[in-house]
Amino acid sequence: MKVTVCIGSSCHLKGSRQVVEQLQYKLAENNLKDKVELGGTFCMGKCQQGVCVTVDGKFFSVTPESVNDFFKTEILEKLA
């Protein structure tokens, strides 16, 4: 599974750093580091909906507040 987080200007201001760090933490906590590849990318062209995240190409709009729910439903449950 490949998860990509936008680290462009807009998403950065909307908290992409917190999203990345929380995902890194969650992946480590659940021992999923070798199953999920976490990467960064610059602008996806959907700045209004930032923080922009894709999971295997599928687009999601995530915020630092919703990142835990996102991790649960879109990563943890999909892998189970």
| Residues engaged in binding other proteins (CB under 8 A) | 5-10, 12-13, 16-17, 20-21, 24, 38-43, 47-48
Q: How far is the CB of 76 from other proteins (least distance, A)?
A: 20
Please say whether the beta carbons of 71 and 24 come within 8 A. no
Q: How far is the CB of 62 from other proteins (least distance, A)?
A: 15
Q: How far is the CB of 33 from other proteins (least distance, A)?
A: 13
In the complex with other proteins, the residue whose CB is nearer, 6 or 74, is 6
**Burial class of 48 by CB neighbour count within 10 A (0 to 12, 13 to 18, 19+):** exposed
In the complex with other proteins, the residue whose CB is nearer, 3 or 74, is 3
* CA dist., res. 30 & res. 53, Å (int): 20
Which residues pair with residue 60 across a beta bridge?
A: 53
